[in-house]
Chain A
Amino acid sequence: MNNMEEKLWEYIDGRCTPDEQESIGALIAEDESIRLKYNQLLRFSQELSAMEIDEPPMAFTYNVMEAIRAEEAQKPLKASINKRIIMGIAAFFVLTIFALLVYAAAGIQWSSVNIISQIPSVSKLPEANNFITRPVIMGFMFFDVILGLFLADTYLRRKKSTKQL
């Protein structure tokens, strides 16, 4: 009977081949028990097609569009940070390094043959102990921690937004 029911459902859903449709149609016409079953399943199928679906709350569309608008509003700010500020900072560092290199190159006496032997006398390197003091180390560590937290936050935000997609 299960097999017959399966065939009847296929007949009702319109998923039979023309041959199957003909043979099942003939069975329905000939066999009263099959006809009864068919009528029962057909009525059930019609009820399912006619059932009402749920209605979302009145403000549903508004809420969706508000959420989208809020998300869209955040995008230009993100873009300006990425393109202008980051590029500006990068340009500042590149220019600083370039200026330092130019300044250092200008101080070197290129005409001198034995330049290597002159380096110790020309460049008087400052004492490292004068600069690497405890507050400097603490400041450096603090900067590292802040930078680390900032990078971790950026990474987690990016991961979260990728997950949401």
Chain B
Amino acid sequence: MQSKLSDIELIEQTLAGNQSAYTDLVKRHQRFVFTLAMRFAKGREDAEEIAQDCFIKAYRSLASFQGQSKFSTWLYSIVYTTAMTFLRKKRVATDSIDDENIHIQIENHSGYDVNNVENKSKSFYLNQAIEQLLPDDAAIITLFYKGEQSLEEIGQAMGMEANTVKVKLFRARQRLKEKLERNLKHEVKELI
């Protein structure tokens, strides 16, 4: 059972030495932090490593959190920088989604039949298509739709201007639609 205290109250308690308050904060935000990490890492093990690293870093720097933004926005900025460092270290290919190799992967991955499509949820296909986007596009869509973050807050977390985020969000949604059309072909009309 998660605490009903606000993020700020939990932070104050953590800073006063109550570690169980931080456990509640982790429980509250772990799903989204993990999902966001998945947008960059594309693998559960790596995403777990990034997410864990983020919560440890956040704990270390908790005293420096001024409360000028939402705790979630501050936490997502840590996720973003940690994930970018991770990508640089791992040298993960961040090639365009139009890359020929990725096309082949997608074609193989989406080798579906009608029954298979019916059995799987819309959410599964959306997540699958998001995974095929560039990390920044995937992160912006996830932050906007699931992170309850405004364009300004996303900009703050990702170190961009709100206007840049707006343009990127528009393009990311277009690319996502293209991915879905490519992945699901005829079924996409039911989905979007």
Contact B51 A56 (CB under 8 A): yes
Q: Which of B136-192 contact A (CB under 8 A)?
A: 141-142, 145-146, 151, 170, 173-174, 177, 191-192
- Chain A residues, Cβ within 8 Å of B22: 65, 68
Q: What are 8 contact pairs spanning A and B, CB under 8 A? A: A9-B173, A43-B192, A54-B31, A54-B34, A55-B31, A61-B26, A68-B19, A71-B60
Contact B23 A165 (CB under 8 A): no
B interface: dominant SS = helix
Contact B26 A65 (CB under 8 A): yes
Q: Does B46 contact A (CB under 8 A)?
A: no
Contact B31 A71 (CB under 8 A): no
Q: Does A6 contact B (CB under 8 A)?
A: yes
Q: Does A57 contact B (CB under 8 A)?
A: yes
How many A-B pairs fall under 8 Å by CB? 92
Closest B-chain residue to A65, C-beta based?
B23
Contact B26 A52 (CB under 8 A): no
Q: Does A44 contact B (CB under 8 A)?
A: yes
- Chain B residues, Cβ within 8 Å of A61: 23, 26-27, 30
Q: C-beta contact mask, B86-106 vs A, less than 8 Å → 1, else 0?
A: 000000000000000000000
Asked if A54 meets B23 with Cβ closer than 8 Å, knowing A47-B122, A47-B192, A67-B56, the reply is no
B22 shortest CB reach to chain A, Å: 7
A63 to B45, CA, bound (A): 13
- Chain B residues, Cβ within 8 Å of A44: 173, 177, 191-192
Q: C-beta contact mask, A49-63 vs B, less than 8 Å → 1, else 0?
A: 111111111001101
Size of the A side of the interface (Cβ < 8 Å), in residues, is 31
A124 shortest CB reach to chain B, Å: 60
Q: Does A48 contact B (CB under 8 A)?
A: yes
- Chain B residues, Cβ within 8 Å of A164: 57, 60
Size band of the interface chain B makes with A: 35 or more
Q: Does A40 contact B (CB under 8 A)?
A: yes
| Residues of chain B having any CB pair with chain A under 8 Å | 19, 22-23, 26-27, 30-32, 34-35, 38, 44, 47-48, 51-52, 55-57, 59-61, 121-123, 126-127, 141-142, 145-146, 151, 170, 173-174, 177, 191-192
A57 to B43, CA, bound (A): 13
- Chain B residues, Cβ within 8 Å of A68: 19, 22, 55-56, 59
Of the candidates A49, A67, A69, the one whose C-beta lies within 8 Å of that of B145 is: A49
Asked if A6 meets B122 with Cβ closer than 8 Å, knowing A56-B48, A60-B30, A64-B52, the reply is no
B25 shortest CB reach to chain A, Å: 10
- Chain A residues, Cβ within 8 Å of B27: 61
